[in-house]
Chain A
Amino acid sequence: MTKGRSAYRISILALFIAIIIIQNFVPLFGYIPIGPLDLTTIHVTVIIAAMVLGPIDGAIVGGVWGLITFIRAFTSPTSPLAPLVFTNPVIAIVPRILIGLVTGYLFNWLRKTHLPQTVGMMFASLAGALTNTILVLGLIYIFYRNPQVAAVYHTNLNGLLNVLLVVVATNGIPEAILAAIVGPLISLPLQRYRKD
């Protein structure tokens, strides 16, 4: 098997980036529209990249997703909230980079314990998905306590925190469950491509 070659690393990262680009532009594949913040399946790609290729490569793939989110917020927003929120590069990019890092490092750490690999993958995927949801919504709460953002959620400023918590429940939990199930399902057979 070919491990640790620069040509291979570049090609596989490029293909992951291509998948991210496709998920962004094929309807029903990357974003499933429900309410003001879409349900996404793109984080699964980032999580798989982090578990199969390693934390740094996961962070790169996540960073590309963040950059696309940022550029799309100006040019072709995905949801009513995007032009208000994701035009801030901190909210658009930082959580997505951290998905890769959290998943990758947690998985590497769990691999050294005696847990079965599948369980380690489940925990790492779960942590990665929650990192995304909690950071995006947390940063929205920190940066955007203004009436417009509150209005997208049909609430006032005082209710914003509660609504964001509800969004964690309605979007974050399905996304986390999806990641926890699909992450190991896909990453396990791909483990043989790991380069270490």
Chain B
Amino acid sequence: MSNKLLLGRFIPGDSIVHRLDPRVKLLMSFYFVGIIFLADNWQTYLFLFLFTMVAILLTKIKLGFFIKGVRPLIWLILFTVLLQMLFSSGGTVYWSWGPIVISSYGVVNGIYIFMRFVLIIFMSTLLTLTTPPLSLADAIESLLKPLKVIHFPVYEVALMLSIALRFVPTLMDETEKIMNAQRARGVDFGEGNIFQQMRAIVPLLIPLFVSSFNRAEDLATAMEARGYQGGEGRSKYRVLSWQLADNLTILAFALVTVVLVILR
């Protein structure tokens, strides 16, 4: 079960990408989703594909891991592509039947959507494979800092995020344990009609919530016993450092944007 979890798929390593500042990786992943919409012809998609492949090579992680990320979604992606192919008109019409039209425009668009999906999934997989979840939380905290101007509780949000990420695997184990315990008592998960399936969730949720409340209680007491008095005025143990490689990454993405604008 846990190997399907996106968050837990961090693979320790010592490549250039692993050592990048998590802020850069997070920002550039979002930026990549943005610039992928700039691509509108085969040259631009080929270029982005090559760029993603170079990024993957730099992580020194096997390509198989990235393909594994796409595999559970492949039917969904193909379904979306098929829809795009069947229901967009324009260009040369190859075949038509009622509202369903297969046209050159539709086919080309379908291929582009497929590429877009795969590239976005590759990039987000790259982010989660090379960045430990807690570094991501640190990065989000650091990036949210400007919001302090509008009295957004940045420290609280960052702390909440760190605690949530820390407890995902713990609660996950617990969920699995409760599921197995209920199975041993005769509950069938994922079988029967809708109502039976939903009813099976109840004996899972109740113990999970009660234990969460107890955990929160214990955790808060332990935090206060160690002198926690709120977010303001604390120092940091994990300090993020911005290095030359981070500037180069941003430069690389800027270059990619320029090339995309020229090629389109």
Which residues in A have some Cβ–Cβ distance to B below 8 Å? Answer: 2, 5-8, 10-19, 21-22, 25-29, 32, 34, 39, 41, 44-45, 48, 74-77, 79-80, 83-84, 147-148, 151-152, 156, 174, 178, 182, 185-186, 189-190, 193
Q: Judging by beta carbons under 8 Å apart, are A18 and B201 in contact?
A: no
Q: How many residues of B contact A (CB 8 A)?
A: 61
14 A-B contacts (beta carbon < 8 Å): A8-B217, A11-B215, A12-B220, A14-B167, A17-B160, A18-B164, A18-B212, A19-B212, A27-B1, A32-B190, A80-B80, A147-B88, A151-B83, A174-B194
Q: Judging by beta carbons under 8 Å apart, are A12 and B4 in contact?
A: no
Q: Judging by beta carbons under 8 Å apart, are A15 and B215 in contact?
A: yes
Which residues in B have some Cβ–Cβ distance to A below 8 Å? Answer: 1, 4-7, 33, 69, 72-73, 76, 79-80, 83-84, 86-88, 99, 117, 120-121, 124, 156, 159-165, 167-168, 171-172, 175, 189-190, 194-195, 197-198, 201-202, 204-206, 208-210, 212-213, 215-217, 219-221, 223-224, 228, 230
Q: Judging by beta carbons under 8 Å apart, are B164 and A21 in contact?
A: yes
- Report chain B residues within 8 Å CB of A13: 160
- Report chain A residues within 8 Å CB of B72: 76
Q: A146's closest neighbor in chain B, by CB? A: B87
- Would you call the interface of chain A mostly helix, strand, loop, or mixed? helix
- Report chain B residues within 8 Å CB of A79: 76
Residue from A5, A15, A48, A193 in contact with B163 in the complex, judged by beta carbons closer than 8 Å: A15
A186 to B162, CA, bound (A): 26
Give A10 Cβ to nearest chain B Cβ, in Å.
5
Residue from A25, A32, A34 in contact with B6 in the complex, judged by beta carbons closer than 8 Å: A25
Q: Judging by beta carbons under 8 Å apart, are B208 and A19 in contact?
A: yes
A84 to B120, CA, bound (A): 15
Q: Judging by beta carbons under 8 Å apart, are B160 and A14 in contact?
A: yes
Q: A21's closest neighbor in chain B, by CB? A: B168
Q: Judging by beta carbons under 8 Å apart, are A16 and B83 in contact?
A: no
Q: Judging by beta carbons under 8 Å apart, are A41 and B201 in contact?
A: yes
A189 to B202, CA, bound (A): 14
- Report chain A residues within 8 Å CB of B161: 14, 17
Residue from A10, A83, A178, A186 in contact with B117 in the complex, judged by beta carbons closer than 8 Å: A83
Give A86 Cβ to nearest chain B Cβ, in Å.
12
A14 to B230, CA, bound (A): 15
Give A118 Cβ to nearest chain B Cβ, in Å.
16
Residue from B80, B201, B215 in contact with A83 in the complex, judged by beta carbons closer than 8 Å: B80
- Report chain A residues within 8 Å CB of B202: 182, 185
- Report chain B residues within 8 Å CB of A2: 217, 220-221
Give B216 Cβ to nearest chain A Cβ, in Å.
4
Q: Judging by beta carbons under 8 Å apart, are A26 and B194 in contact?
A: no
A11 to B5, CA, bound (A): 22
